[in-house]
Amino acid sequence: MKAYELVLQRIEAEISEGRLRIGDRLPGERALAERFGVSRTSVREAIRVLEVMGAIRTAAGSGPDAGAIIVAEPRSPLTSALRLHLATSHLPIADIVQTRVLLESWAVREASGKAGAAELAGAERLLDAMDDPGLAPEQFHLLDAEFHVSLSALAGNVLVSTVMASLRDAIHGYVMAVVPELPDWETTAAGLRREHHAVLRAVRDGDGDAAASLVAAHIEDFYRTARL
Amino acid sequence: MKAYELVLQRIEAEISEGRLRIGDRLPGERALAERFGVSRTSVREAIRVLEVMGAIRTAAGSGPDAGAIIVAEPRSPLTSALRLHLATSHLPIADIVQTRVLLESWAVREASGKAGAAELAGAERLLDAMDDPGLAPEQFHLLDAEFHVSLSALAGNVLVSTVMASLRDAIHGYVMAVVPELPDWETTAAGLRREHHAVLRAVRDGDGDAAASLVAAHIEDFYRTARL
DNA sequence: CTAGTGGCTGTGGTTGGACCACACAAAGTA
DNA sequence: TACTTTGTGTGGTCCAACCACAGCCACTAG
């Protein structure tokens, strides 16, 4: 077994057994190297891996925020992995869109009637912000992504909403590359706004079936228009 | 920007632009270090990350299989990330089960009628192997996992089947830990076998709705029995 | 002539040591 | 009291070696 794998295993075990919890600080790299009987380099490789996996956050310097701190950021590793495998062309964009439709329509159906006014407030605020007619496409899409993610979060499934967010992040670049090609951005945006409001209304009214089919059509329409 | 991030970015860009394709070999670590103007250490950290992300495979020695080779193994990073975040207790098992039900019932519905005899042959062979009454629980569950994954693959969505496989892998340890607690393994196994055959039959007959509800009940039943 | 053997070479894997930039904390100073 | 300086511990980076490994190749014993 490689040295960094050993370190990885040991640290993961400590997290698993609850000896390390979120917010805790790992010992310094030099201390870990000594404890595990490996070089600091190997410890660093393990730390790197944990960092890109979203399990820890590192910062130099001293003080309470310095060092390697246990966090739970499941979104970033999913996003990176998706982006990377999208790049190898072994993961068709069509599959991503299909998965989005699947997850998101399930989420809004699940959320319908279940989500109270307080939970819906965040989504409404995003829609309000998107109503600004002077918004640049880039800003619009960032808000759009946030809206869809917050909608998915209403279903209360951490995994689903995390995957949703990662899917959005991973294809964001592709979407933005295609926006300038659109024949009429203003018209497209107006349609998107209208559809967003309709979806949110269905969720608020507790009409799960309507919300699901609306959101599915909304997503599929956009990708058809964008020819992705 | 950190040095290893720069290396990561450059290599990812080369993959993205098609200059590096699956099966290609990366230049040696020493050569990359010189090309990017960083130390070999930083190159190695980037390589490590790409490795755990399932984008490359490394091997020492010489010959055609040695060095860092571009691969596409999207399953392993998802599995590791899930396992890791499962360990931090910020990802409830219930969410994973719910997601499994969601994805898998969609997959079998999609596959119903679409999958031909050739595609179904693999799944049937697995069920035959699971009919062996002397099978140990561990072996049974490995075959079980394979069956569910091959079932999901029938829908033809790479992302969905990959996520499915990762979900199974990530919770495999939890499942195996609970099997010895079951009051009567043989009875449980018999039920699982029966349900598997029923699901496969529905898929073969093109009855998507039946297949979806059968597989959903199958999964939920098992986790209820296992009290996970 | 063939089969085996040993060294050569290039690969990733690992180590120890050195230095840097950073950020806070504490001691010193106006 | 308020500011400045110094100290200390953190991660970030680099370097120069050495190891283990695996293929390749020339040499040698049969």
For residue B45, give the CATH number of its domain.
Answer: 1.10.10.10
Based on the fold, state whether residues A84 and A191 are members of the same structural domain.
yes
Out of A51, A70, A89, a domain closes at: A70
Question: Is it the case that residue A199 has pLDDT exceeding 80?
Answer: yes
Other Cβ atoms closer than 10 A to B195: 17
Q: Which of A70, A94, A115 is the last residue of a domain?
A: A70
Q: Average per-residue pLDDT in chain B? A: 94
User: What is the DSSP secondary-structure string of B82-132?
Assistant: HHHHHHTT-S-HHHHHHHHHHHHHHHHHHHTTTS-HHHHHHHHHHHHHHT-
Give the distance from residue A124's alpha carbon to the nearest chain B alpha carbon, in angstroms: 26
Q: Is the CB of A35 under 7 A from strand C?
A: no
DSSP assigned state of B26: P
| Residue among B87, B160, B88, B173 nearest A163 (CA) | B160
Residues A81 and A63 in one domain: no
- Three-state DSSP class for residue B58: strand
Type of residue numbered B27: P
B44 CB neighbours in chain A (<8 A) are 41, 45
Cα–Cα distance between A222 and A220 in angstroms, integer? 5
DSSP state of B181: G
Of B31, B48, B70, the residue that ends a domain is B70
Number of domain units in chain A: 2
User: Is the confidence at residue A228, as pLDDT, over 90?
Assistant: no
**B96 and B36 belong to one structural domain:** no
Range A84-107 average pLDDT = 94
Task: Tell me, yes or no, whether A58 and A96 share the same domain.
Answer: no
Per-residue pLDDT tens for B102-120?
Answer: 999 999 999 997 878 888 9
Q: How far is the CA of B10 from the C1' of C20 (A)?
A: 24
- Indicate yes or no: CB of B83 within 8 angstroms of CB of A12: yes
pLDDT of residue A119: 86
Q: Could you report how far apart the first and last alpha carbons of chain A are, in Å? A: 43
Q: In sequence order, what DSSP letters do the residues of A173-219 get, joined into one string?
A: HHHHHHGGG-S-HHHHHHHHHHHHHHHHHHHHHT-HHHHHHHHHHHH
Domain of residue A190 covers: 75-225
Select from A187, A177, A193 the least CA-distant residue to A226: A177
Average the pLDDT over B53-59 and give the result: 96
Q: Which of residues 66-125 of B touch strand C (CB under 7 A)?
A: 66-68
- Read off the CATH number of the domain in which B110 is found: 1.20.120.530
